[in-house]
Structure 1
Amino acid sequence: MNDSLNGKIKDCIVLAGPDLEPRECQAFEYESGIITRMDLGQPASTPVGAKQVIIPGLVNGHTHVGDAFLADVATNMTLAEAFFRPNGFKYRALSQISPDDHVAHMTEFLRGMASSGTIAHFDFREQGVEGCHRLRKASTDSGVRSIILSQLNHSPFSESELSEATLPLPESTRAEITKLLEVADGFSESTMNDLTDHGWVEIREMAKAAGKTCAVHCLEDASYRATSIKRTGRGDLERAIELLDPDLIIHLTVANDDEIELLAKSGIPAVINPRANASLGLPLPPIARLLRAGVPLLIGTDNGILNGPNLFAEMDFTYRLARSQAGTNDPVQPLEILRMTTSNLKKTRWRDELPGQLAIGLPATFAIVDFSTPWLATSRNLHAALVTRVTPADIQRTVRSGRTIYSSSPST
């Protein structure tokens, strides 16, 4: 990493402000990690030509980087076989890898994020306090900001106890959560079906008191809803909004119209993971309906087992899927997808650290894309090119708060 927090880029194109408006820019400067100058000129949406394009640093809305050392092992496994605690393949493998090897694998995976323009990610980190420490080390070594949302090592309730809504968390579990919240950025138990209603309320209050965030997977497949209804009479999304009031809700692959309306009214941002869902043979999220209902959306690559850290591939897949779902009457635009990795961050509680936009006075957190290649230089729509044509090979530099965390040129 380059530790200089100052820099100047001349004669470029900048995606300016929350609307990510492409503008000619004579000089883009930053000092002490803050943008100090953006000499913006005419709109530059078409044609792009061969200039450098400065975009906000991308944020990956949902990852599990701890299992990246198991790439493609789940190719022929079901969701439960690969990922469900306690006997899913990944949990057995995580218990066997040495801490040093594990940190090394996660560090390289995060460096892969940086090389594809990503500056931060929200990670559902397994292995309790120890898992948090491992990822924090990898984050420090790579320069990519890891927002660590930890989970319990073991479920505190038996199958029969999970139907008892008023059953509180055991004191040992409360003590474990207290320790997790001291080292993690928040809490992220896998599904609402892992705990009782009373237990979720306790976690919400503990996280709020500690100033930490909460997130949960919902509606990844129909069994999440069915199990929740069988035990409590309510679906998992309804319980999540009522009991946990999370900062992020993940997946929603089988969300119906009533659930989408409920989520939209709550204002809670959601993270979709279309490539991961497709890789597991699950339904694909109703992206177009979520967008048109006004749900704030982010995109995640999900498990390292299933995907590399390339958000450009995720945006490409998401755009084409959403476009197909919406049809031609109200087509989804590339800009709507690009916002899911950038300016939609302003709708989360992380908007101060991760504003997802470029403006004077904000952190100098950006990526430089080389548009001189034949497949980019002739583009007539910059947003479309960024979403459907750019690859990690086109990234020249990734900068977080003024510090270069990736450069295609060793001298930079």
Structure 2
Amino acid sequence: MFTITNGIILKGQNLIPSKENIVVDDGKIINIGKDLKEGKIIDVEGAVVCPSFINGHIHIGDSIIKDEGYGLSLSEMVKPPNGVKHKALANASDDELIDAMKQSMWDMVRSGTTHFIDYREGGLDGVKLLKKASEDIPIKPVILGRDNSFYGDDPDLNKVKTAVRKLLKIADGIAPSGFGEITEDVAKIIVDECKKQNKISSIHVAESESNQIESLEEFGKTEIEKGVSSNFDQLVHLTNPKGNDLKMVSSSNANVVVCPRANATLNVGVCRLNEMLEMGMAPLLGTDNVMLNSPNMLRELEFTLKLMSVYYKSYIDPLKLLQMATTNVCSHDVNNVIQKTHINEGNFAEFVIFKSFSKNPYLNICNRIETKNILYIINKKCIV
């Protein structure tokens, strides 16, 4: 048992600042109050106590080829099965992949992340590799698998269904790359099987303008429209919406993940984040491919804070931005895969204690904090 004292707690799902103490026992928050002092005392005078980060979208497998292929197009870099990353994954040994993924997971832990949602290439073997790599690291991967049987213009739907069911026995959900690689029949199998097992179905949509144009020309529907009509739980990117795309998403049950740094690196556009927030959406924030970006959510927060301000010529609310990296996941529940991450009694202890530089706790984290300014990372498994 230990007590965190004298910090400014960003409490509850709305991250309301409160000067209170937190008592943790056996990995859970058992009490929050003004004068509590039980067990070991950890005095964090003036520091900010914030829920730990969730990286809402990452491809951790391509940690083996950091910064390779810079300047290539989106398709040349990441389109399966012949993109730069897919060729590298196919040629890497299991030990190389595990070592690279471990390094990236420790990078995330040290910068305040305790959960991440991974688009896992490699079928069953890919899921097993990530599970093995994460065994001794205080981080929770939410693993969304995929299989090569999904791809092509005329896939064997029986093989697709078998592959999905096998994956769902060990994965947290299914995540094909995009509608440019799968048919609507494959999408339906993925979504239906995930819903039966209360697991996550996720897909990239409208990452590039060309994706949207090709979808409209071939199907008469945007990728976002296809994602919503297919009932995917989670839509990633939405960088290039058309017409009523965003309104359609805001009226659906789908949750959204945006990855501004990856969009910038691949030169595909700026996500319409301010508009999403004005529509009442509660997006998640992700760092995307490790081959493109470090998986550091602090860097993602600062980049997004400033990019949105200059792009829209108006300031983004730093509270809403910080929620995208922390408690917005609770708004969607992510099919019960991730436990409640906000700081409340009864929840698991999953929070980070940051040095304080300013009176605004949200800007303090989004605008000023670097990894070296993290005092403690409290995870239900340990204190880092």
TM-score (norm 1): 0.87
Is structure 2 residue 384 aligned with structure 1 residue 386? Answer: no
**Secondary structure in structure 1 of the residue aligned to 2:75:** helix
Deviation of 1:68 after TM superposition, in Å, equals: 0.9
Cα distance between partner residues in 2 of 1:154 and 1:73:
27
**Secondary structure in structure 1 of the residue aligned to 2:180:** helix
> For residue 18 of structure 2, what is the amino acid of its counterpart?
R
Select the residue among 289, 311, 329 that pairs with 2:275.
Answer: 289
Aligned counterpart, 2:123: 128
Aligned counterpart, 1:32: 26
- Extract unaligned runs of 5+ from structure 1: 1-5, 42-48, 162-167, 408-412
Deviation of 1:361 after TM superposition, in Å, equals: 1.0
Instruction: Compute the RMSD of aligned alpha carbons.
Output: 1.8
TM-score (norm 2): 0.93
Cα distance between partner residues in 2 of 1:156 and 1:21:
46
> For residue 323 of structure 2, what is the amino acid of its counterpart?
R
Contact kept in structure 2, 1:247 and 1:348, CA below 8 Å: no
Contact kept in structure 1, 2:149 and 2:156, CA below 8 Å: no
Deviation of 1:123 after TM superposition, in Å, equals: 0.4
- Using a 3 Å threshold, how does the CA distance of structure 1 residues 354 and 318 change in structure 2: closer, same or farther? farther
> For residue 214 of structure 1, what is the amino acid of its counterpart?
S
Aligned counterpart, 1:180: 167
Cα distance between partner residues in 1 of 2:341 and 2:309:
23
Select the residue among 247, 254, 277 that pairs with 2:233.
Answer: 247
- Using a 3 Å threshold, how does the CA distance of structure 1 residues 302 and 288 change in structure 2: closer, same or farther? same
Aligned counterpart, 1:410: none
Aligned pairs for 1:38-57 (under 5 A) are 38-40=32-34, 51-57=46-52
Deviation of 1:351 after TM superposition, in Å, equals: 7.6
Percent of aligned pairs with the same residue?
A: 28
**Secondary structure in structure 2 of the residue aligned to 1:266:** coil
Contact kept in structure 1, 2:326 and 2:341, CA below 8 Å: yes
**Secondary structure in structure 2 of the residue aligned to 1:387:** helix
Select the residue among 214, 227, 245 that pairs with 2:214.
Answer: 227
Aligned counterpart, 1:216: 203
The one-character-per-residue Cα deviations of 1:112-131 (angstroms, maximum 9, x if unpaired) are 10001100000001010000
Aligned pairs for 1:2-151 (under 5 A) are 6-25=1-20, 27-40=21-34, 51-151=46-146
Select the residue among 316, 320, 327 that pairs with 1:332.
Answer: 316
Contact kept in structure 2, 1:288 and 1:323, CA below 8 Å: no
Aligned counterpart, 2:294: 308
Deviation of 1:207 after TM superposition, in Å, equals: 1.4
- Extract unaligned runs of 5+ from structure 2: 36-43
**Secondary structure in structure 1 of the residue aligned to 2:3:** strand
Deviation of 1:95 after TM superposition, in Å, equals: 1.0
Contact kept in structure 2, 1:50 and 1:370, CA below 8 Å: no
Cα distance between partner residues in 1 of 2:242 and 2:159:
37
Q: Which has the higher contact order (CA 8 A, sep 6+)?
A: 1
**Secondary structure in structure 1 of the residue aligned to 2:309:** helix
Is structure 2 residue 350 aligned with structure 1 residue 350? Answer: no
Select the residue among 189, 194, 216 that pairs with 1:207.
Answer: 194
Contact kept in structure 1, 2:233 and 2:253, CA below 8 Å: no
Aligned counterpart, 2:180: 193
Aligned counterpart, 2:382: 404
Deviation of 1:39 after TM superposition, in Å, equals: 1.3
Contact kept in structure 2, 1:62 and 1:122, CA below 8 Å: yes
**Secondary structure in structure 1 of the residue aligned to 2:202:** strand
Aligned counterpart, 1:278: 264
Cα distance between partner residues in 2 of 1:63 and 1:141:
20
Cα distance between partner residues in 2 of 1:122 and 1:75:
24
> For residue 34 of structure 1, what is the amino acid of its counterpart?
K
Contact kept in structure 2, 1:123 and 1:148, CA below 8 Å: yes
The one-character-per-residue Cα deviations of 1:35-72 (angstroms, maximum 9, x if unpaired) are 0121149xxxxxxx962321101100000000012111
Deviation of 1:24 after TM superposition, in Å, equals: 1.2
Deviation of 1:103 after TM superposition, in Å, equals: 0.8
The one-character-per-residue Cα deviations of 1:234-277 (angstroms, maximum 9, x if unpaired) are 1111111111x122110011113511111111142211100011
| 228-237 or 59-68, larger mean C-alpha shift | 228-237
**Secondary structure in structure 2 of the residue aligned to 1:349:** helix
> For residue 215 of structure 2, what is the amino acid of its counterpart?
S
Aligned counterpart, 2:39: none
The one-character-per-residue Cα deviations of 1:163-195 (angstroms, maximum 9, x if unpaired) are xxxxx7532222122211111110000112322
Contact kept in structure 2, 1:68 and 1:109, CA below 8 Å: yes
